[in-house]
Amino acid sequence: MTATTLSNDFKEIISTRHSVRVYDPSVKISREEMTEILEEATLAPSSVNLQPWRFLVIDSPEGKATLEELAPGNKNQVTTSSAVIAVFGDMNAFDNADYIMSTDVEKGFMPQEIKEQIMANYTDLFGRIPAQAFREMILIDGGLVSMQLMLSARAHGYDTNPIGGYDKSRIAEAFGMEKERYVPVMLISVGKAAKEPRKTSRLPIDRIAQWK
């Protein structure tokens, strides 16, 4: 499988996904293909379908230079990857609830009266939910979309690595985003591995699962 070659073999996708830290800097991902990867990623589930994830695709020299200062321990990934995607959770995600459900009505996914009932219930719920609880919710949703993004990239023939080692307290502001609104989830480097990634073992299921 080569870059930009889409695979539909799920077993192959999940078994060939490995964390890659050094990429071939000559490989670039077009905005069109990156958009397709993101679209596939956003098919991930989210709490009440709020889709609170937000993406910052960092692929310009200027953007990468800014990111290098925030993630000095991951310089190789930043400089050699085709792009680094910063995944955020949006604390204002509920602002899109009416738009999302109105679109469902237009597409025939739900009747108008059900939409109005759900919106009334959710408006009450999210008007009362503590900010910390909402933050935890969107972080979980951000994790779900991040994993799906990495699998989507692998299906397109690219390699990825999730990155937690960066200055989360500064990244939003560094790229002109509202610090209080956008909660950092992780960075994901994307590109084509410069060499075959090292394989890793997994714990056997009988050590991590129980049946009752």
Quick: pLDDT tens for 25-80. Answer: 999 999 999 999 999 999 999 999 999 999 999 999 999 999 999 999 999 999 99
pLDDT attached to residue 1:
47
Cα of 154 vs its chain's centroid, Å: 14
Q: What does each C-alpha distance from 153 to 26, 50, 174 come to in angstroms? A: 17, 23, 26
What percentage of the chain reaches a pLDDT higher than 70? 98
| Average of per-residue pLDDT across 175-189 | 98
The mean per-residue pLDDT over the stretch 94-105 comes to 98
pLDDT exceeds cutoff 50 at 183 = yes
Per-residue model confidence (pLDDT) at position 2? 46
Give the HSE-up count for residue 23: Cα atoms under 13 Å, Cβ half-sphere: 30
Task: Say what the pLDDT of residue 3 is.
Answer: 53
pTM of the model: 0.94
Are 119 and 101 a contacting pair, CB within 8 Å? yes
Query: Is 181 buried (19+), middle (13-18) or exposed (0-12) by CB count in 10 A?
Result: middle
Alpha-carbon span 24 to 193, nearest angstrom: 6
| Average pLDDT of the residues of the chain | 96
